[in-house]
Amino acid sequence: MNDLVEVRAGVYHDSVSLMRVSQALAGRPGVSVAIVAMATELNVGLACDAGFSVPPATPGDLLVAIRASSEDAVQEAACELERQLAARGAASGSRREEAPPRTTRSAARAAARSAARSGDATVALVSVPGEYAFLEAVDAVEAGISVMIFSDNVPVEQEILLKDRAREQGVLVMGPDCGTAVIGGAGLGFANVLRPGPVGVVAASGTGAQQVTSLLDLAGVGVSHLLGVGGRDLSAEVGGRSTIQALRALDADPATELIVLVSKPPAAEVARAVQDLGLGTKVVAALLGPGQDDLTTAVERVLGALGREVPEWPAWPAWPASPAEHAVSEGTSGPAGDAVRGPLRGLYSGGTLCTEAALIAGTGEFTDFGDDEYTRGRAHPMIDPTLRLEALDAVESGVVLLDVVLGQGADPDPSARLAPGVARACERGVAVVVALVGTDGDPQGLRAQAARLNEAGAAVFTSNAAAARHARELARAHAGA
């Protein structure tokens, strides 16, 4: 094995960009390990655990650690690294006539001054390791601009302090752990390409918001703004602080005719409080929980409120049908159904989608690979499917349900790596069901991704609820239900 280890002093790139760079390098021929990250204590520790000898570094330095099977493979990866970093530097406008700001606050103040002259809204996007996110977000809030905190692993006490200060400043905090937002058509984080329209969305959920807005887009209905507030905002501790601000902001927006409130199971008292604000704009609640509507049903209620027809949500049944599919179609658990001998497993990248599927299935084992315990020090599974592929390869029988989320920021071609794993699972007799969340405008190509996963043997649904019900019936068929 050949190693390349570098520490580049004072070179900064945001964590999402570096995750994408690491993934691109890891996918190259001969490369077994690729770590491109800021040299935080955690990332340095990960590199050391992988067997690299890391020189002294600070969190403000860029760490590069590449291992490959040959010196040529290392050098080719190094060349690709430079190309990737240069492309991201050009895209972010790193070449400037004046020296760039050295802090978030100075950058935010400069942006706010520019916005005051042009009349445009201004938002700061914080995407740094969680232990540093609070200070960067405070800088933005104190400068008087709203902030989206993509970072996770931020203590709830810091979240509360930050949101209270934001309210005093008259700005909005989206996050922490805010995976998606769309403001005036501009997507932040993991964002689908959505048509403009009359529906505003407030979401204490990333992939839940993506499911709702993607289905609306497939039904021909556009979105004015999607304001994420962080997965904990409707918890008892946080008390809906950002949700209340976001609802009132959309209520005052003349382009928003209807608001959808999306959340994982909220604290009951907080859910009641945010729904009793007395807004002038109609609010449709899509709050997951026992006895509550699923997200697809909530979207259909939105369409009804707008006077729109509910379409047939696109789906691609497994073809040729697997033994488990035959069992469902025949309504038996005989010889065909006996080919599926195992439980229902949910292997998810989106936490809200995982929660929704578990509620619908009522049985099985569900894992959210986007949870903090799986993303600390590594790319989100919507970018890097490695952990989910390992879990899929370990399933010998039964039914596997997984999500594939498209859009800006996500894996540019998720089926390229997932489809071979799906095919291997189907060859072992495992029934695979995919919830494919995206729009026809997404860069990955919704229909092309569906076709490739379907050809590999998976049943594919654009509705996560429909996918979960299908997987549930497959599991019941093998059990003789």
Q: Is the dihedral of CA 88, 92, 97, 103 positive or negative?
A: negative
What are the backbone angles phi and psi of residue 315, rounded to the nearest 5°?
A: -150, 150
Phi-psi region of 340 (alpha: psi -120 to 50; beta: other; left: phi over 0): beta
* Of residues 71, 142, 67, 149, the one with CA closest to residue 112: 142
Q: At what angle do helices 351-361 and 464-479 cross, to 10 degrees?
A: 40
Residue type, 235: S
Alpha carbons within 13 A on the beta-carbon side of 404? 34
Phi-psi region of 480 (alpha: psi -120 to 50; beta: other; left: phi over 0): left
* Of residues 127, 130, 110, the one with CA closest to residue 118: 110
Using H for helix, E for strand and C for coil, what is the string for 145-185?
Answer: CEEEECCCCCCHHHHHHHHHHHHHHCCCEECCCCCEEEECC
pLDDT, one tens digit per residue, over 107-139 is 766 665 665 544 454 789 998 878 889 999 999
pLDDT of residue 151: 87
The full set of domains in the chain, from first to last, is 2-91 (3.30.70), 101-164 (no CATH), 177-311 (3.40.50.261), 315-479 (3.40.50.261)
In the predicted model, residues of the chain with pLDDT beneath 50 are 94-97, 117-119, 121, 322-324, 326-341, 481
Give the SS3 label for residue 250: helix
Chain centroid to Cα 48, Å, comes to: 28
Two tokens, residue 206? 């990333």
Peptide linkage before 320 cis (omega within 30 of 0):
yes
